[in-house]
């Protein structure tokens, strides 16, 4: 399924829509009473087509990759997660705002992860999860968040922060470096929506820090073919 539908027909340039028009109630109501990232072990496995209408702008895409680079991040952060992005509805498409090592800050179709990652004709090599941030963000806050995100498009990936963290060096300030690892970018997006900043446990904010935060509720694991 491609990201080319679901949103009301009266959407215009001055009418942002931050959720799919056909919101559905999952067959199994997702719950996450466990703390930390263990909460993601208790959620239902959902087809992307069923999960997609329940996604709202500001929800999180959390990835557990199987590449060597992904395993390095997971090992360093003692986590199942190697990447995090933020879902955004844009006109009739569900996109992911993210910072990736080969492109920096970008927006990608969410379906890219499910069926055609890196244009290879296959799903993402790993596991995908959806997290929801509490409390729900108001549309005015999302406007501000997306305005900031648009200004940051094409910023480079934060290699310097990553290597500083891995080598236990003094972390670089975000203002001085003007680049982002994935979790720094998502944290900055949500901070511009008015959410209190996430607290890093190490040298740099990690996907684990965001996923384990009590304000993030585990919603679903996406079934991949």
Asked if 184 contacts 205 with a C-beta cutoff of 8 angstroms, the reply is: yes
- pLDDT tens per residue, range 62-81: 999 888 888 888 888 889 99
| pLDDT value of residue 216 | 96
Give residue limits of the domains in the chain. Answer: 36-223
Q: Which residues does the chain have with pLDDT short of 70?
A: 1-35, 163-177
Phi then psi for residue 153, to 5 deg, are -55, 140
**Predicted TM-score of the model (pTM):** 0.82
Q: Tell me: the pLDDT tens digits for 96-134?
A: 999 998 899 999 999 999 998 888 889 999 999 999 999
Given this model, what pLDDT does residue 30 score?
47
How far is Cα 177 from Cα 156, in angstroms, rounded to an integer? 10
CA distance 37 to 48: 21
- Structurally, at CATH architecture level, domain 36-223 sits in Alpha-Beta Complex (3.90)
CB 84 within 8 A of CB 144: no
Burial 20-50 (b: 16+ CB within 10 A, else e): beeeeeeeeebebeeeebebbeebbebebee
What is the phi-psi region of residue 58: left when phi exceeds 0, alpha when psi lies from -120 to 50, beta otherwise?
left
- Nearest CA to 162 out of 78, 81, 100 is that of 100
């Amino acid at each position: 399924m491609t990201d080319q539908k679901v949103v009301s027909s009266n959407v215009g340039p001055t009418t942002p829509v931050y959720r799919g028009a056909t919101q559905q109630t999952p067959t199994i109501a997702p719950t996450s009473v466990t703390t930390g990232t263990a909460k993601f072990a208790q959620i239902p496995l959902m087809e992307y087509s069923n999960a997609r209408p329940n996604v709202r702008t500001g929800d999180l895409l959390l990835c557990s990759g199987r590449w060597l680079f992904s395993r390095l991040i997971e090992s360093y952060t003692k986590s199942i997660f190697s990447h995090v992005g933020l879902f955004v509805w844009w006109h009739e498409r569900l996109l992911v705002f993210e910072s990736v090592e080969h492109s920096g800050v970008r927006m990608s179709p969410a379906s890219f992860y499910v069926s055609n990652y890196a244009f290879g004709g296959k799903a993402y090599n790993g596991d995908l999860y959806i997290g929801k941030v509490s409390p729900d963000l108001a549309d005015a806050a999302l406007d501000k968040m997306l305005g900031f995100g648009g200004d940051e498009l094409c910023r480079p990936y934060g290699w310097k922060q990553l290597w500083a963290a891995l080598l236990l060096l003094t972390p670089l300030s975000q203002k001085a470096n003007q680049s982002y690892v994935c979790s720094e970018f998502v944290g900055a997006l949500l901070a511009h929506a008015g959410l209190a900043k996430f607290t890093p446990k190490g040298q740099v904010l990690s996907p684990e820090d965001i996923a384990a935060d009590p304000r993030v509720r585990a919603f679903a694991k996406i079934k991949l073919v």
